[in-house]
A and B are shown apart, each in its own frame.
Chain A
Amino acid sequence: MTLIRNNLIIALVIPIIALAGLVAHKVYKINVGQEYILPILGFDPRDLLSGHYLIYRIDYGVSGLCSGMKYNQEKPAYVCLSPRSFSELKPQHCTAMISGHCRGSRFNAGIERFFVPQADARTLERAVRGRKGSIVLAVNRSGKALIKDLLIEDQPWRDYLSTLEQIESKQ
């Protein structure tokens, strides 16, 4: 009886610890990574589990990104942020890089979506389409990047929406 109870408790604790570990891992990566701000362009689809998100292209300021027929099939690629360059091999003299892969003509690094509240999805989408958006990234040494925040007109998106609401209420 005690053994069954203990097994049940262990089975219940496993997912809680795993989920907490996942959160801790993300928090660690965000805090340790070097911060970069890059401009974006995008639109708004939705995810079954997590709701609405903006999907965008990041303007890395690099020429020849994933260009050519060889990227019809997915291939690993790297963008060096300092100095700015693109390569298929891990760059040697690069102080900060983002690792990802080319599929077609797109470079994907797993940072191309930003979840937004359903009520504000349209407003933010319009702002991003109007080239007012940029993304704050935390990039670690191995090239893995995580999103820290979305900026609209150089201010956090929450502040931007609040300012917009204040202007609308005054009018």
Chain B
Amino acid sequence: MGDKSLRRLKQTLNDWANQGLISWEQCQAIEAYEAKRPQVSWILYGFMSLGVAVLAIGIVSLIAANWRDIPGSIKLSLDFCILIALAIAVVYAWKRQRPMLYEALLSLFLLLCLASIGLISQVFHTGGELYMALLFWSAITFALSLAAQKSFVPFLWASLFILGFALFLLDGKLLHHLFYQRSTITYLILPLFCLLLAVIFQYSKRFPMHLNALRQLSLITGLIGLVVVESGLYGRSGNYHLNYFMFSYIFAALGLLLILLNPHYRKIQKWILCCIIAIYLFLFHLPSFGISSDLIYAILSVVLLISVALYFASIKSRKLFNLFILLAGLRVLIVYFQALGGLAYTGVGLILSGLLILISIWLWQRYRQPLQNWTEGFTA
């Protein structure tokens, strides 16, 4: 804990001790415990993650250069020696309680495992696809990703697993016939798959960092999907066969079932999540109903973004609530540009938009607290 945080904690503890909530002995014991804990700066941690990622890319690049003079057996032996040395170093860092070093070595070990799969593929000239390497890597490193103490490793694991899954949908022999013509349907499946995995992890309650990583990925892939469907990349017309949606229906149904059965969620949260999933599915079904109006897409997007914001309000995540309200506001603004034509109309539109935003800010400042209290309170 940094000096500033420690000072803040001391103030809070003194305040609690003065109010008689905790004893002075407890206050001193907590202060001593926090002062002794190893300090990890989040800035340093961020740079460490960057350094590890760059180092790992360098190793992959060295492997990819495939030097002629070094036989495959020597390359593989060297690779396994480095893997074993890194594994010993990970245990050493854990034993010595060096959290930064431990996380850095753990990340490097995981990425080196992926590079090793590449090296094996190179030495034996296997004709496998990238998704095979990613899914195999995800399977053999899952247990290790659970040993992480910081969020980088779980996020790295979850991201590469989801990427492997996406490539499997697109390139895998099993589902090739379903996805080769409608590859953009993957953008519908991915957030639902992430959400389903997140709900499963929530049941276990033992892997909070994986749960967070999957939640973040469902948001990221969901937003990408929204951009794809809104920008027209997905297509606004054409015949979408029911088979294309099969996996999205399965993931959505399983996700909803687990959400509805999970006592962790409040009733209103269950309703909001149902709405979010239903709207997201409906957006991707619009071409099947022959709907191509920009306004309908925009209205659905705004409702979806506000629903997500309301969900975050209900879990008291103010930053994400504000972010999604802002995104909804931006989408409303874009409606003007889509709906109006000509300089005069655009000028009027922009003035109206500006006024609308200013009024919204004023209303927000005035009614923010009651609104937040309402969204947080009506769930209690």
Contact = CB atoms under 8 A, between A and B. Distances in A.
B143 A14 contact: yes
A115 B147 contact: no
A53 B128 CA distance: 13
B130 A8 contact: no
A interface bracket (residues with beta carbon within 8 Å of B): 35 or more
Interface string A100-143: 01000000101111111111100000000000000000000000
Contacts of A115: 66, 121-123, 125
Nearest to B87: A12
Interface stretch (A16-24, A36-44, A59-67, A90-98): A16-24
B147 A15 contact: no
A117 B1 CA distance: 49
Interface stretch (B111-119, B258-266, B341-349): B111-119
A16 B63 contact: no
A48 B118 CA distance: 9
A10 B80 CA distance: 17
Contacts of B94: 5, 8
18 contacts: A5-B91, A10-B143, A12-B109, A22-B117, A26-B126, A30-B124, A48-B130, A50-B64, A51-B66, A52-B66, A110-B127, A110-B128, A111-B127, A112-B127, A114-B125, A119-B68, A120-B68, A161-B68
Nearest to A146: B124
B106 to A, nearest CB: 9
A81 interface: no
B48 interface: no
Contacts, number: 121
Given A51-B64, A73-B177, A119-B65, 4 more contacts: A19-B117, A51-B65, A74-B176, A115-B123
Contacts of A11: 143-144, 146-147
A49 B121 contact: yes
Contacts of A110: 126-128
Contacts of B144: 11-12, 14-15
Interface of B: 60, 63-68, 76, 80, 83-84, 87, 90-91, 94-95, 109, 113-128, 130, 133, 136, 139-141, 143-144, 146-147, 173, 176-177
A13 B91 CA distance: 11
Most chain A CB within 10 A, of B63, B80, B124, is at B124
A70 interface: no
A108 B176 CA distance: 15
Nearest to A26: B124
5 closest residue pairs by CB, A with B: A49-B118, A51-B64, A50-B122, A110-B127, A147-B125
Nearest to A121: B66
Contacts of B80: 16, 19-20
A84 interface: no
Contact of B65 (A8, A13, A117): A117
B72 to A, nearest CB: 10
Contact of B147 (A8, A13, A22, A73): A8
B65 A118 contact: yes
A7 B147 contact: yes
Contacts of B117: 19, 22, 49
A9 interface: yes
Contacts of B87: 12-13, 16
Contacts of A147: 124-125
A106 to B, nearest CB: 12
B66 A118 contact: yes
A10 B114 CA distance: 18
B91 A9 contact: yes
Contact of A16 (B83, B91, B126, B177): B83
A49 B125 contact: no
B94 to A, nearest CB: 6
Contacts of A116: 66
A141 B4 CA distance: 69
A57 to B, nearest CB: 13
Contacts of B140: 14-15, 18-19
Contacts of B63: 49-51
A16 B121 CA distance: 16
B177 A8 contact: no
A46 B63 CA distance: 13
